[in-house]
Amino acid sequence: MLSIVGIGPGGYDDMTVRAVNAIKNADVITGYKLYVDLVRDLTGGKEVFCTEMRGEVERCKKAAEFAISGKNVALISSGDAGIYGMAGLVLKILEDHPEVETEVIPGVSACQSGGAVLGAPLVHDFAVISLSNLLTPWSLIEKRLEAAASADFVIVLYNPGSHKRKDYLSRACDIMLRHKSPETVCGLVKNISRDGETSSITTLERLKSTPVDMLTTVFVGNSQTTVINGKMVTPRGYRI
Amino acid sequence: MLSIVGIGPGGYDDMTVRAVNAIKNADVITGYKLYVDLVRDLTGGKEVFCTEMRGEVERCKKAAEFAISGKNVALISSGDAGIYGMAGLVLKILEDHPEVETEVIPGVSACQSGGAVLGAPLVHDFAVISLSNLLTPWSLIEKRLEAAASADFVIVLYNPGSHKRKDYLSRACDIMLRHKSPETVCGLVKNISRDGETSSITTLERLKSTPVDMLTTVFVGNSQTTVINGKMVTPRGYRI
């Protein structure tokens, strides 16, 4: 059995009971070292195979090998293993091994944990877009930003910037500003549920020049999103 | 303290540790009766205030009253309280009571639990759209469907149909078919994690005439989404 486990933002409390049990019941734990370290309390005495950043293919192949050999494997993904996570890659790697049983165990993704820190930004239709162009052409990312902004979606941006992509958020804001007001309520959360967690609420105009990194998740409201007692809130439409 | 608790699809195993503890530590539990019943094992001996369907405003106001009076309240939402959930409504109701401490506890939403049942449909950019026009004009829903389809998002449809809205999914498919191939891989999951859970994989063309109800979640792939060993998988772009 290969369990592809989303562990959420990192703390034990934000894991589902099913994720905790899958890790406890596994023979082998595989994952990105940083994330495996987050669940180290649960992995005591087990075989552990970690890789560093960018080692996605290597660790998924290794997890598949362990599972093919008959071991119970928990492949750890931060957030939700099915949202920009390892679930798709592992299922592809196991294409020629339909005999291996797999399960995807969902976890709390950054759009949820970050949203909860900010308030309730995702209470209406939303789009999730990664600004990383490592695996996706920038032209497609631009097209998605434009489409989502034009239809007044709340937009969540994953991987909004890095050392090499310092101006990507600014470019994304320019595209969204073609359709969204400069006063659109936006939020940022960094290091969600970890030491040094910070969050702030701003406007789309100011977001354009806000520095971000790979550990930041960005929320861009729709035209109805507002600030209530310091929280970012998108209304659903109820009359009270 | 008012905890707005997402309990996930319904089973204890799919709740986060934080959600379990918030319910255990609350003085009062409020929520839609069906969802409160799902966590009945955790609510023993506590005060419980339930309303029936459509009682959202009433139960959120009641939860706010309890919190204003100094009680620890857990307001239960199925899935994630921040995704089409009660979080926004409660924060609005408490607008004039900034002294009441609130926390949103994320849970596994249907796009995640349903996605995990199907495989890994959400591994790339996606849009979440509710087809319910109770609180949203249908023209805006159409606009969002068109925009998301035109930019090749994976699309998740919540509330795809009901007795009164039998043809909404069909109409939504017509809009998406303007931009997406009739062969686009689609998936349906009904009664996620509950008795009678069923799932199926189909095409966008066939989805158009597939009956659905309020307990069904619908997934429409992007142009790269494929079927691997019976699972719906959207690739991220890794080379293996």
Kindly report, residue by residue over B118-172, the tens digit of the pLDDT. 999 999 999 999 999 999 999 999 999 999 999 999 999 999 998 888 899 999 9
Does the structure show a pLDDT above 80 at B53?
no
pLDDT (tens digit, 9 = 90+) per residue, B86-102?
A: 999 999 999 999 999 99
CB proximity under 8 Å: B 191-220 to A = none
Nearest CA in chain B to A3: B116
Cα–Cα dist B91/B109, whole Å: 20
| Burial class (CB within 10 angstroms; exposed 0-12, middle 13-18, buried 19+) of A44 | exposed
Rounded Cα distance, A92 and A115, in Å: 31
Of B15, B57, B94, the CB nearest to A16: B15
Q: Report chain B's mean pLDDT, rounded to a whole number.
A: 95
For chain A, the domains span 2-108, 111-233
- Continuous H helices in A177-230: 204-207
pLDDT per residue as tens digits for the range A37-73: 888 888 888 999 988 777 889 999 999 999 999 999 9
User: Where does A2-108 sit in CATH, by number?
Assistant: 3.40.1010.10
The answer to whether residue B122 neighbours chain A at the CB level (below 8 Å) is: yes
Mean pLDDT of A91-118: 98
Domain spanning A111-233: which superfamily? Tetrapyrrole methylase, C-terminal domain (3.30.950.10)
Nearest residue of chain A to residue B142 (CA atoms): A151
Cβ-defined contact of A151 to B143 (cutoff 8 Å): yes
Q: How far is A2 from chain B, CA to nearest CA, in Å?
A: 13
Q: What's the pLDDT at A35?
A: 85
The answer to whether residue B71 neighbours chain A at the CB level (below 8 Å) is no
Burial class (CB in 10 A: 0-12, 13-18, 19+), B177: middle
CA dist A110 and A5 (Å) reads: 15
Strand order in the sheet with A102-105: A47-51, A28-32, A73-77, A2-6, A102-105
- On whether the CB atoms of residues B102 and B90 are closer than 8 A, the answer is yes
Nearest to A112 by CA among A184, A217, A4: A217
In chain A, residues with a C-beta closer than 8 Å to the C-beta of B159 are none
* ipTM for this prediction: 0.97
Read off the pLDDT band of A170 (50, 70, 90): very high
Percent of chain B with pLDDT over 70: 100
